[in-house]
């Protein structure tokens, strides 16, 4: 393909994307593909001869698109939204076109310095004090892994990377039962081991960790000769939005010298609205905080904002400086590859810059506030509808419910059947989770272009399909 053909196709692709986004609400939200259908439609072997883009693009529409679940659909209420607002998509296109590697300052000074400034913008936007530094990671999972590795190295007096873990004291990391599975994986990969991830009991409506139970667990581990290393808090966990009492838990952690990490992958975006910050009051005492602009805020995936009160511990854990990576002669420069597990890094800051400038923080706040208000209005309506029970209350825009008509014999099976029937119907998309062993249905609103009518339409769809199930 020459670059003139590239430009022609670039125009066609842009037109296609416009039409797709403008009409996506007419499609069923979840793909209706059967397992193996796409695989069977793809040739077993690659072509030996070149094929025209015309044919490739036709197959893209015929084979790929029917197998897509539409995450940018305004009635996507499943999981958490993974938004890709138009300006962030444009920035990604430019990033793909120039494709710089952003591991060192000198491998693209603009990317590094833009990243520094955008992390300052984001930190200020969510109300963190100026002394936090930041780095953009590919995902919250990577940020959590980096934080867990830092916990490990700090607790082992910086000997783990060099000497390995054999013969070392048994490290202990604390979290609640509600944390995301990325925490378990970070613990596995860091060599700390699942048995040393201590699940502290939760209490209350926010399903948060009990600080007193946390302190008891730490003391018991000290008594047993183990070495407490770190604390991982959730603010807006995935299942029900569970949120730990941040100030109380961080106070305990400080008393015991633990490194602390806050996973606010989804809910962190809401903190651009000052009225939602009470949920994480005290967070400025944490060592490490992650939130995903690639979820609710609108930046195209991937883009995870990782804030550090003092980056030295992280850099001491992760920096490797082989001779060929050293940048000589420049003082005070940042090489962000020393702040993350992967070496190669994409230019992710550009889409934050495009996004925030296009909408302004006030425009982004308006959207998030609407999502929360509309989600709560839907909650209030379903709470009054006979046959339905709210299981967990709204945390920002997320809450859970069950269908419990009189005489229902197997509520778990009934609710699973309901969520499946709703998703087969295609007008909306929901997912389920478990709360205290019970199967419940989640609702969250957060798609960038969703409207009040989209959100409220979920009531009719849920009631109509539940009525059909009996």
Ligand X SMILES: *Cc1c(COP(=O)(O)O)cnc(C)c1O
> Footprint of ligand X on this chain (CB under 6 A)?
80, 139-141, 180, 182, 237-238, 263, 265-266, 292, 304
- Say how far residue 95 (Cα) sits from the centre of its chain: 21
Least gap, CB of 265 to ligand X (angstroms): 3
CB of 98 to ligand X, least distance (A): 24
Q: Are strands 398-403 and 388-395 parallel, antiparallel or unpaired?
A: antiparallel
Token readout for 226 is 């183990």
CB of 363 to ligand X, least distance (A): 23
CB of 84 to ligand X, least distance (A): 14
Question: DSSP character for 276?
Answer: G
Strand, coil or helix: what is 79?
coil
How far the first Cα of the chain sits from its last, in Å, is 57
Q: Pick the closest to residue 341 from 135, 146, 163 (CA basis).
A: 146
Q: Is 35 exposed, middle or buried (0-12, 13-18, 19+ CB in 10 A)?
A: exposed
Question: Which residue, 141 or 415, has its beta carbon nearer to ligand X?
Answer: 141
Q: Which residue has the tokens 């959730």?
A: 234
Residues 312, 319: Cα–Cα separation, whole Å: 10
Token representation of residue 122:
């984001």
Closer CB to ligand X, residue 118 or residue 265? 265
Measured from the CB of residue 45, what is the shortest distance to ligand X in angstroms? Answer: 33
SS3 content of the chain, % helix, strand, coil (to 5): 50, 15, 35
Closest CA to 469 of 417, 427, 430: 417
By beta-carbon proximity to ligand X, the closer residue of 266 and 347 is 266
Tell me the closest approach of the beta carbon of residue 300 to ligand X, in angstroms.
13
Closest CB to ligand X among 303 and 414? 303
How many residues does this entry show for the chain? 470
Shorter beta-carbon distance to ligand X: residue 25 or 141: 141
Q: Given the complex with ligand X, which of 70 and 180 has the nearer CB atom?
A: 180
Which residue lies nearer to ligand X by CB, 295 or 427? Answer: 295
CA distance 375 to 395: 10
Nearest approach, Cβ of residue 465 and ligand X (Å)? 27
């Amino acid at each position: 393909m020459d670059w003139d053909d590239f430009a022609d196709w670039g125009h066609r692709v842009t037109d296609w994307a416009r039409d797709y986004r403008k009409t996506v609400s007419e499609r069923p939200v979840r793909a209706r593909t059967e397992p193996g259908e796409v695989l069977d439609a793809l040739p077993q072997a690659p072509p030996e001869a070149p094929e025209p883009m015309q044919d490739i693009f036709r197959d893209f529409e015929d084979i790929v698109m029917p197998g897509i679940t539409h995450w940018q659909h305004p009635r996507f209420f499943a999981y958490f939204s993974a938004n890709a607002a138009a300006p962030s998509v444009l920035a990604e296109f430019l990033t793909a076109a120039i494709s710089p590697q952003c591991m060192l300052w000198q491998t693209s000074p603009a990317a590094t310095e833009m990243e520094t400034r955008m992390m300052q913008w984001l930190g200020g936007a969510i109300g963190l004090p100026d002394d936090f530094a930041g780095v953009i990671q590919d995902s919250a999972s990577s940020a959590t892994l980096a934080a867990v590795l830092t916990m490990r190295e700090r607790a082992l007096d910086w000997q783990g990377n060099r000497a390995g873990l054999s013969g070392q004291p048994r490290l202990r990391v604390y979290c609640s039962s509600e944390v995301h599975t990325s925490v378990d994986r970070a613990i596995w990969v860091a060599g700390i081991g699942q048995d040393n991830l201590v699940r502290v009991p939760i209490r209350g409506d926010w399903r948060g960790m009990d600080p007193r139970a946390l302190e008891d667990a730490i003391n018991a581990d000290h008594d047993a000769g183990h070495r407490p290393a770190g604390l991982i808090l959730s603010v807006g966990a995935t299942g029900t939005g569970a949120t730990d009492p941040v100030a109380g838990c961080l106070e305990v952690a400080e008393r015991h010298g633990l490194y602390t990490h806050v996973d606010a992958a989804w809910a962190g975006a809401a903190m651009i609205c000052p009225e939602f910050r009470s949920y994480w009051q005290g967070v400025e005492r944490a060592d490490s905080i992650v939130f995903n602009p690639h979820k609710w805020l609108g930046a195209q995936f991937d883009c995870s904002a990782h804030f550090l009160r003092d980056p030295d511990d992280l850099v001491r854990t992760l920096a490797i400086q082989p001779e060929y990576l050293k940048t000589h002669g420049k003082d005070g420069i940042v090489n962000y590859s020393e702040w993350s597990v992967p070496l190669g890094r994409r230019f992710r800051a550009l889409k934050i810059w495009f996004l925030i400038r296009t909408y302004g923080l006030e425009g982004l706040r308006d959207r998030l506030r609407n999502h929360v208000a509309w989600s709560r209005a839907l909650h209030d309506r379903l709470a009054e509808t006979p046959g339905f029970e709210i299981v967990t209350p709204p945390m920002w825009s997320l809450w859970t419910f069950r269908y419990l008509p009189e005489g229902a014999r197997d509520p778990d099976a009934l609710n699973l059947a309901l969520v499946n029937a709703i998703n087969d119907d295609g007008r909306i998309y929901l997912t389920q989770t478990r709360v205290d062993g019970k199967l419940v249905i989640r609702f969250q609103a957060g798609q960038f272009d969703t409207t009040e009518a989209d959100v409220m339409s979920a009531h009719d769809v849920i009631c109509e399909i539940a009525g059909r199930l009996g």
